[in-house]
Structure 1
Amino acid sequence: MGGMATNTVGVPRQQGRPRIRPEGEPGASWGLAWLLVVTGAAGLLASWVITLDKFLLLEDPDFKPACSLNPVVSCGSVMQSEQASAFGFPNPMLGLAGYAVVVCVGAGLLAGARYGGWFWLGLNAGTLFGTGFCAWLMVQSLYEINALCLWCCLAWVATLLMFWAVTARNVRTGDLPAPGPLRALFADFAWAPPALHLGVIGMLVLTRWWDFWTG
């Protein structure tokens, strides 16, 4: 039979790399589905609150958002900065649309939806853009605006978690080509990249205002 192998009952069995179970199959990605729903909802909540506070600030320049707690944790300072409207409109409006899409994707997975590889790569590209944009906003907050917005921080964390989760899924399934060691990393230690990412952000925030935190 040439290169065709058989199992113990004589049924032909394909050789080569084992089939990767699609993440969209029922029961294959409940963890990812819930992560997308939860992080998307968190980002949506943050975007909604920031948008409401932005409108209140426009109506009353003396309005003080509830998350303006001290000179460092000052949401009002961030919302009134030029960086808060990077594309000519309030940044959270991007979040209202983007995070809503993520929630819908996660809900679809929970309902048994299956998405093609092109869809997952598109979602990966979207979360990559979001992560890059959040990184830029973080740098601006730390070193230009000199203040933190707690709701913005929630959006940063939600975005990077969904980015790494989708990236790990795409690498494991082969939708995103990657060398063997990288696939093994995401298969066994998918928690490591987001943990390292969060650790770096925490370290930057801690060291930026070290005197304030320890004073």
Structure 2
Amino acid sequence: MAAAAGSGTSGGNGPRGHTAGSGRALALLLVITGAAGLLAAWVITIDKFKLLENPNFVPGCSLNPVVSCGSVMKSEQASAFGFPNPMLGLVAYSVVICVGVSLLTGAGFPRWYWLTFNAGMLFGVGFCSWLQFQSFYRINALCLWCCLAWAATIIMFWYVTSFNVRNAFLPAPKWLKVFLAEFTWVVPVLHIGVIGMLILTRWWDFWTS
């Protein structure tokens, strides 16, 4: 999966003008993770509107004091840019799906496109990391749909980064290229695993009570 998801169809490590498509696995991964993120953003947006209409509305994913989507949606951090965060996700994840579908049809993109795409995902991962900190240590609540969006963003980011490294769009030592050719999956698994451990330890008393 790792090798297939990160391999370019154009072959070789090209120069700056090199245009690359991707293997079918990476294209499908982008469609699937983009769809997962879009679903999460859509559900959160709908629930946010319902919450604005009725302050007493309780989202379906508000299960207990810790897993409480409503608490997250009511927080200031839920509108970091002056509008509900999931509205940004509706646009961003739609773009990811479009890129994935384009790759499935055999499209190829130049280096600048892949790097711009990667930079957008880097922003997404950074924003998710900020939201995770806010959720764990400021809001003191979890949103399950947010967790789905975080996981989708992390997975797509690391696989696109791997693709760019192995196609020489991003500079990297040979050993890293060799490692990513077979073990790209290890990186997002570790990343998500760390987040899972933070969630476990943050509310350890609640989980074990």
Fold agreement, TM-score > 0.5: yes
- The alignment status of 1:182 with 2:173, answered yes or no, reads no
Give the conservation status (yes or no) of the 8 Å contact 2:67–2:142: yes
- The alignment status of 1:122 with 2:116, answered yes or no, reads yes
- The alignment status of 1:69 with 2:57, answered yes or no, reads no
Amino acid aligned to 1:47: A
Q: Distance in 2 between matches of 1:170 and 1:19?
A: 12
Aligned with 1:141 (options 130, 135, 140) = 135
Q: Distance in 2 between matches of 1:80 and 1:106?
A: 33
Unaligned runs of 5+ in 1: 1-17
What TM-score results when the alignment is normalised by the length of structure 2? 0.91
| 1:84–1:76 Cα change, 3 Å | same
Give the conservation status (yes or no) of the 8 Å contact 1:78–1:84: yes
Q: CA RMSD, aligned part only?
A: 1.3
Deviation at 1:61, TM superposition (A): 0.1
Deviations 1:116-138 (A, max 9, x none): 11111011000000000000000
Deviation at 1:153, TM superposition (A): 0.3
Deviation at 1:181, TM superposition (A): 1.8
Deviation at 1:208, TM superposition (A): 0.5
User: Which SS does the other structure have where 1:188 is aligned?
Assistant: helix
Identity of aligned residues (%): 67
Amino acid aligned to 2:99: V
Q: Distance in 1 between matches of 2:12 and 2:68?
A: 51
Deviation at 1:186, TM superposition (A): 1.1
User: 1:45 is matched with which residue?
Assistant: 39
User: 2:91 is matched with which residue?
Assistant: 97
User: 1:200 is matched with which residue?
Assistant: 194
Q: Which has the higher contact order (CA 8 A, sep 6+)?
A: 2
Give the conservation status (yes or no) of the 8 Å contact 2:12–2:167: no
Higher helix share: 2
- The alignment status of 1:109 with 2:103, answered yes or no, reads yes
Q: Distance in 2 between matches of 1:92 and 1:107?
A: 22
User: 1:3 is matched with which residue?
Assistant: none
Q: Distance in 1 between matches of 2:20 and 2:194?
A: 30
User: 1:171 is matched with which residue?
Assistant: 165
- The alignment status of 1:214 with 2:201, answered yes or no, reads no
User: 2:146 is matched with which residue?
Assistant: 152
Deviations 1:144-181 (A, max 9, x none): 00000000000000000000010000001101111112
Deviations 1:20-57 (A, max 9, x none): 48651xxx511100000000000000000000000000
What TM-score results when the alignment is normalised by the length of structure 1? 0.88
Deviation at 1:19, TM superposition (A): 2.8
Deviation at 1:185, TM superposition (A): 1.7
Amino acid aligned to 2:181: A
Amino acid aligned to 1:117: R
Structure of higher CA gyration radius: 1
Give the conservation status (yes or no) of the 8 Å contact 1:141–1:148: yes
Deviations 1:64-115 (A, max 9, x none): 0000000000000000000000011100011000000000000001111111
Deviation at 1:195, TM superposition (A): 1.0
Deviation at 1:183, TM superposition (A): 1.3
